[in-house]
Amino acid sequence: MSVKQVKLPLTKEQIIQLHSGDRVELTGTLYTGRDAAHKRMIDELEEGKLLPFDIQDQTIYYVGPTPPKPGQVIGSAGPTTSGRMDKYAPKLIELGLKGMIGKGRRQPAVKDAIARHQAVYFAAVGGAAALIARSIKKAKVIAYEDLGPEAIYRLEVENFPAVVINDIYGSDLYEEGETKYRI
């Protein structure tokens, strides 16, 4: 199976070419955020404040990286369970977020927002945190430093490995897999 090279930030042209099950390598800028950062972003939006970065066409990686060892850009950087962001994701997708990276299933409201606003959900391999970290070339905290590993980082990545789970066509790789192998 071939691997699709995807340049970040995502474009509409790229998103329409992505289908559940596609293996991809992402290169460019992405942002990190877990539940504490997502809650704070939504709270700030409700207060009429701006988000800490321009979310238009961007990708958020659901990760709380460990501190880097000397000479490293970042510590282990494995995906966290995406479902914890599901109550916040539809609003961010509506505002222009185009990509999310994590692990695990998404709720129907998130999948509907993905299809309606033309976004994509990628899965990164859980348990491969040290390997994933190798694809991260730069890491800088840009917001919510007080949240420690849950702060928002801007990452520069090269050939970050992922798989498309949910696409704009309403497909879900997890559901497809269950159907295929159900006895």
Residues noted as catalytic: 38
Express the helix, strand and coil content of the chain in percent, nearest 5 each: 30, 30, 40
The 3-state DSSP class for residue 34 equals coil
Please report the beta strands in 16-83, taking only residues with DSSP state E, as ranges in sequence order: 23-32, 59-61
Write phi, then psi, for 128 (nearest 5 degrees).
-115, 30
- With a CB cutoff of 8 Å and minimum separation 6, the contacts of 3 are 23, 24, 25
Write phi, then psi, for 85 (nearest 5 degrees).
-100, 0
Nearest to 98 by CA among 172, 22, 23, 18: 18
Write phi, then psi, for 131 (nearest 5 degrees).
-70, -45
Pairwise CA distance, residues 96 & 118, whole Å: 9
What letter would DSSP give residue 9?
S
